[in-house]
Amino acid sequence: MGFPVLQLPHVVQRKLVSMLDTRDVIDLSFKCKAFRRMMKFTRLPCKSLKWFFKAGNPGITIGYGDRKLKIRLHMRHASNGDDFSNCGKVGSKTIAPSRLRFIRCDTDSDPGTIISIFPKISRHNMWLKSNKKVHPIDMLETYTNVLIDIFRPDEFRITWRLKNLDDFFKLFVWKITKKFSIFKFRTYYNSDPLNIPNAITFLKDQIEATQKMEIHIEKDGKIPSIQQILKQKRLEIIWSPCFNLETLLKMECHYLDINRSDLFETGNLKKVIHAWIAGSLPKLECLTVKGRRWEERKVIQLTKGIETFEVTDQPDHKVFYDHTWNENAVEIVRDFDKRRASVFLDETKFALIIWSANGVLEKTKPAEWEPALYSTVREVRDWDSGDDTDDD
């Protein structure tokens, strides 16, 4: 005879659930409707819930304590950027939680933290035959509906790396939340180019990213120039040639990171410095440009014609760090408000650090902002590799 968990008082149920393996709680919630109803009143706290929509292995990552639980859909036939054309349309058919099977895939380096899921059908025919009418986004909606009943996340994160932007606009996630700690958006070469400005407008008007928003748009001459002015606290732009310099100078971001942009030759770096001196970028605290090799590699050449001084402060390493800071940085002063800034330039990096009146960066960042900074370089590398190891 089984233990009558569902007949226990609520306080006892909470205590019992807290003693179970998290994977067992998930498994039971998918198999038993009564247990799932109980979990709605006994939701487990967790640090974050992240959706990653990518070809091959879309899924969800749950962060709790110092551990992560990763739930993946295994789709062997999908190529890089595949739009799942063999899987039917989003919303055409759903799948019941009871039809899903969980396979625990513990690893030696991180035991007990990964779950793989796929329908109860042949592995090789998973999407091409038996289940082709169920779109993977619809399957993730099924998982999400159950997981939201189980967990109480402190924050949400999302990564979008698929071609079909029509699916992006009608994503089920927007019904749950439009506020994220980290939001990553990437398009591929053969995405719908005319829809990309609409996607950026959607991000601007409806999405809030409290820690960082990352935009990565591949080179495509068919993409119209993007004029939208983004106001996210921290914005990272990778490639994305559709953003012109005039638009970037109007951004209302506190921290702006530009990676591998063809836009920033040394001539445009000078324009950025002169624009700040003239009063542009009023909210900017730190601008970094990386991934280029400059024609002029000396900061003194970059600031020719501007009165410069020896640097007196060094930025916090969480904001910007380079061991050659004292050799490659100078200080400038804006005349009309006497605001100080430091300009740094070496072979591959440029930085414009704006100082407050007391000589330190403005303390306008939320408390949870700092941990994300350590992963900036690693996250850029993960975009290239196609591996979704950028969860936290």
Backbone φ and ψ for 260, nearest 5 degrees, come out as 55, 40
DSSP 225: P
* Cβ atoms of 196 and 218 closer than 8 Å: no
Give me the pLDDT at residue 108, please: 52
pTM value > 0.85:
no
Give me the pLDDT at residue 356, please: 83
Give me the pLDDT at residue 328, please: 94
Q: pLDDT digit of tens for each residue in the chain (392 aa)?
A: 366 877 888 888 888 888 888 888 988 898 889 999 999 998 999 999 999 998 877 899 999 877 888 888 765 444 444 556 556 678 776 777 777 766 676 655 555 556 666 554 333 333 333 445 678 888 899 889 999 999 999 999 999 998 889 899 999 999 999 999 999 999 876 677 888 999 999 999 999 999 999 999 987 777 888 889 998 999 999 988 889 999 999 999 999 999 988 788 778 899 999 999 998 888 999 999 998 777 777 898 889 999 999 998 899 888 899 999 999 999 999 988 899 999 999 988 999 999 986 555 554 343 333 333 323 333 333 333 344 455 44
* Cβ atoms of 226 and 235 closer than 8 Å: no
Of 79, 63, 62, residue with least CA distance to 71 = 62
* Cβ atoms of 152 and 39 closer than 8 Å: no
The angle subtended at Cα 10 by Cα 7 and Cα 12, nearest 5°, is 85
Give me the pLDDT at residue 212, please: 95
Q: How far apart are CA 59 and CA 77, in angstroms?
A: 16
Give me the pLDDT at residue 87, please: 64
